Amino acid sequence: YKLTAEMEKVLDKLPAQVRVEVPQVQDVIRENGLVALRGGEELSLSIEGATDLQRVDAGEFARSGAFKADGVVSAFRFLKHGFALTARAEAIQPQVEAVARNSFHVGFEQLTLTAQVDYTIKKAGVFTLRLALPDGYKVEGVSGNGIAQWNEKAAPRTLDVNLKERTLGSYQLAV
């Protein structure tokens, strides 16, 4: 007989140290099984301690049942209940690289600055892009794909560009 039980436990805040606990089978002569840790695309998991567990391949875990090996960080076999497994869960921080090209136009009455920033956003993605603005300039416009809104803040002088959705990969912004 195959029984599948789905449970969840809410974490207070990240980073968090998590003690992995599984239901204990009652009224049996012998118990063994597999346990795996799976993370999301915005969550990093690392094993801090494993007692009375034997590491196995994620593919072996997937072959054992209806679970897929997608996102499995580590899989273990246990031969008796009472094992100890602790993991650390942390939010993945996005890695943002930027190449800025600034163009100045000097006229008789004003100095115009046009900035084009080419972003490369890796890992978790971002919802907001932030730029420090030079003093004395007025922002006339901001353009880029999927901009929900942009706000200029006074101290320190910054421009916050809010995007309609989480953005990952290449992104071009013009100010």
- Tens digit of each residue's pLDDT (9 = 90 or more) over 1-39: 877 788 888 888 888 898 988 888 888 888 888 888 887
Do residues 101 and 115 touch, judged by C-beta distance below 8 A? yes
Smallest CA-to-CA distance from 123 within 17, 1, 41, 40 is with: 41
**Element (DSSP H or E) covering residue 42:** none
Do residues 158 and 130 touch, judged by C-beta distance below 8 A? yes
What are 119-164's pLDDT values in tens digits? 999 988 899 999 999 988 999 999 999 999 999 998 889 999 999 9
